[in-house]
Structure 1
């Protein structure tokens, strides 16, 4: 049974923290490459994304200027590589190395070896694939000039796999949320820990609270969130009122923060905005989910954006909108917006 040294465990822990702090795919790739270079090591390294048509792109590479001369060979012959075929074709995937599939003589007869690996002094490589849900497959590979990867190296690649996969999924989710909320959505995890806060949201909160942490909500917001999420966890679907927005006034400026459940269990999406008077959506006889959909509809969001924000399918959004129209006795979005704004003006 393979075991890790205390130093490898410390390096692995540091690498995992860096990977999960990444805010883009490139940052995930860079952090992963830095981690495997430290805890495993090799002369060259590559982080790939594979496309459904069999093509690929390099997100990170560690060959330097020497890569340019042989990059056309990599593009032409990468499908010959047994590790690439394993990543693309195997239904489960995992860590692998060339010697799992080919002996030395057979490996040397391949075009990918002769045209790409041999000029770079690569004799063996080892890596692992990542299969984030809803995204293209990715993989990281380390290369060496001799066949020297060990079972412990493979173990480290396999231990990294779920963390990098999750990091890629989180980045994609953040990108979708950012697009749907105009870059203002804050993703919050258990106990109010901030998982992601865009710069625009941080600047907005700084105008209302003296100290804003990138890892923790301000005290007033945290107490509000705990009350609302507790209500949400116990409320029946037939309850008309969703979690109430957070309102805060400082120096004549009004901050409103809306809260909805994010797709990942135990996480919450907060959308802060500065406005004069909040929209009045209570008392319309709608369910909690219908009220949430109506709130985003009034904000001008398309069905696809509402689906991302509320973590539901586009068809479910359509169903909720149809039911909203029936309950309110209206026929379209324009009528819904007009009705809500009339209620807002009466509540001033």
Structure 2
């Protein structure tokens, strides 16, 4: 069956993403949006080497993400090793051994009937309403691991078939190019959300809002599930705050800046700042932790452009205009003449009702 118009557009947008001026796991959300147009799946996970060397994970908003902490339970992981050839934790082994898309039967070491009786399935997959899986390990041209996709379907959905495998396989090099880590530039980002939570100086949770809870889960992943104990990095932040409070600052000098923690992952950049809260008597009884979430401008720009439904050439040119490239450079990147670039730029401005680049950037980056 020939590809549909929607599938052709999704493929074109992935090709465009592979030629952008930024790349890395922060582009996972727009990538997954296009993948959903090309391969039907219910939810997905993307596992990749994090900044600290440990494996990090991005799971789409779904019951699976809410239950992700279960997957990290030691009993579930022991059960997984008995039925799965390589768990998502065994990324280095997967890079060595997995080539091309892998369907469920290639990923498990036991019959499907035995998988369905395992703790791994009944404690991790079944509550998340997941069953079938299609896996793909991404590598650089030099063979270095970039990340690993896990696409999932529920038991009520059809199994992944040969057509799904073929489509995923054709996208392998493209996806690796888009998600290969590049230079991080926190200045090239915009504030997405900010929220506050309160804890005791010893780290016991006092209050949090749903918004703060969501941001903390995005920043810390499954480590945020067990609220009785804060993640180790937050514990250190509180210790730094107490140390600063004990030592004070010289008479007439400046107060030390509140201790701050910086994290980054596929969801963006997270800044956490701890501030001592004082009661009426002037004694600190709580610590406020402000969490600010920033996302790369490109991660905001791509969905905004997609929503406009521009023709592909105008879509691409609008991206470079919003990124601030001069028109001669845009024309060279796109392989068109300067006159054609000017013509398309005028068409874009007229279509969107803007007068110049600043108004275009405001339309695409500031309005949500």
Q: TM-score range by the shorter chain?
A: 0.3 to 0.5
Task: From the CA coordinates, give the structure whose radius of gyration is larger.
Answer: 1
More strand by share: 2
Bigger RCO (CA 8 Å, 6+ sep): 2
More helix by share: 1
